Amino acid sequence: MAEYVGRRILQIIPVLLGVSVVVFFMVRAIPGDPAQILLGQNATQAQVQSLTAKMGLDKPVPIQYLLFLKDAVRGDLGDSIVTGRPVTTELLIRLPATFELTAFAMLVAVLVGVPVGVISAVKQYSLLDKTTSVLALTGISMPIFWLAMILVVIFGVNLELLPFPGRLGPDTDITSITGLVLVDSLLTLNFAGFWDGILYLIMPAVALGTIPMAVVMRMTRSSMLEVMNEDYVRTARAKGVVPWRVIFKHALRNAMLPTVTVIGLQVGLLMGGAIITEIIFSWPGIGLYTYQSVSARDYASIQGVVLYGALLFVLVNLLVDILYAVLDPRVRL
């Protein structure tokens, strides 16, 4: 097992290196002078040249990349030209908000998608199965931005049941320990703040988690239908094993293998969808920071965000691979 994990960790290095090359040169291929954009049209040539030198853009592009790579290995992603603070600091400040949102969205996807998928497989061709299939296809086809705006209009504006935008109400004060609103409110026994955080989290999490939920639902159903026809499941039924034991002990464990893989792949969707979701709900996370960085042509921030996303994606897939190897020992070979 240790050898398998070691091989998978070593495979992360060329992936991150490739991502760094692509994002570095693509950002610099965007038309326009970032120094001129930041200073405005009224800036003098001397001011533009000074800022260009400060940003390191006066050096040849290959040299710029080597300098960037050397600093990145040490954890230095440069300074944001908008805020003046280190990009690493900016990311760490916003990471808890994005983590809380994506974790809650994935929790919704798994807690709803897996049970509904199992029930649909057990009740194949029933009205319930057909209804959930239609809902799953609708969820997969629904754009995140459209669903988010519908939720805001219905539950936020018309019914006024759920608050927005942001993570907390203006009158709610929580002592920050981890940066995670729900965790910090529980650690400080601030139950009013915890409830406020839940209310602010519902709409963005549902908007972000609907597509993964539908995908998990469909995959769980398909996997369960395949496993339910296996010989060992039919044998368990023939021996008179109670139905719930057949489903959850014999069928679901093996049906979860492809579902676990799909759950890992959905992390990439969540990271991409988080940008749209955070913009609509003014969620102060990395997605909103990405949008602001691109708008300002902040090279260092854009590179840092993409590298963070790539690192998070490969780490999550590493965890999925390890879990897959635990569920199916043949993978380790």
C-alpha 71, offset from chain centre: 26
pLDDT in tens, the chain (333 residues): 677 677 777 888 888 888 888 888 887 777 777 777 777 777 788 888 887 787 777 788 888 888 888 888 888 888 887 787 899 999 999 999 999 999 999 999 999 999 999 999 988 889 999 999 999 999 999 899 999 999 999 999 999 999 988 899 888 888 889 999 999 999 999 999 999 999 999 999 999 999 999 999 999 999 898 888 888 788 887 888 787 888 887 788 788 888 888 887 787 778 777 889 999 999 999 989 988 888 887 878 888 888 888 888 888 878 877 777 776 666 555
Residue 142: burial class (beta carbons within 10 Å; 0-12, 13-18, 19+): middle
Picking from 54, 7, 83, the residue whose alpha carbon sits closest to that of residue 304 is: 83
pLDDT at 82: 76
Q: Which residues pair with 222 in a beta bridge?
A: none
Picking from 284, 90, 273, 271, the residue whose alpha carbon sits closest to that of residue 168 is: 284
Cβ–Cβ under 8 Å, residues 314 and 12:
yes
CA torsion angle 219 223 225 229 (round to 10): 170
Question: The domain spanning residue 205 has which CATH number?
Answer: 1.10.3720.10
pLDDT at 1: 67
How far is it, in rounded angstroms, from Cα 39 to Cα 33? 10
Evaluate whether residue 270 is within a structural domain: yes
Evaluate whether residue 39 is within a structural domain: no
Q: How many CB atoms lie within 10 A of CB 298?
A: 27
Evaluate whether residue 21 is within a structural domain: no
How far is it, in rounded angstroms, from Cα 180 to Cα 92? 12
Using DSSP, state whether 293 is helix, strand or coil: helix
Cβ–Cβ under 8 Å, residues 310 and 299:
no
pLDDT at 333: 55
pLDDT at 248: 80
Evaluate whether residue 315 is within a structural domain: no
Evaluate whether residue 109 is within a structural domain: yes
- Give start and end residues of each alpha helix (H) in 29-60: 34-39, 45-54
Phi, psi of 86 (to 5 degrees): -60, 140
Residue with tokens 């759920």: 162
pLDDT at 61: 82
Residues comprising the chain, all counted: 333
Cα Rg, the chain, nearest whole Å: 24
Evaluate whether residue 61 is within a structural domain: no
Q: Can the peptide bond before residue 165 be classed as cis, meaning omega within 30 degrees of 0? A: yes
pLDDT at 303: 85
Cβ–Cβ under 8 Å, residues 76 and 64:
no
Evaluate whether residue 132 is within a structural domain: yes
pLDDT at 132: 92
For the entire predicted model, the pTM comes to 0.83
Evaluate whether residue 134 is within a structural domain: yes
Q: Report the number of distinct structural domains present in the chain.
A: 1
Instruction: Identify the domain containing residue 159 by its residue range.
Output: 95-293
Picking from 137, 79, 127, the residue whose alpha carbon sits closest to that of residue 301 is: 79
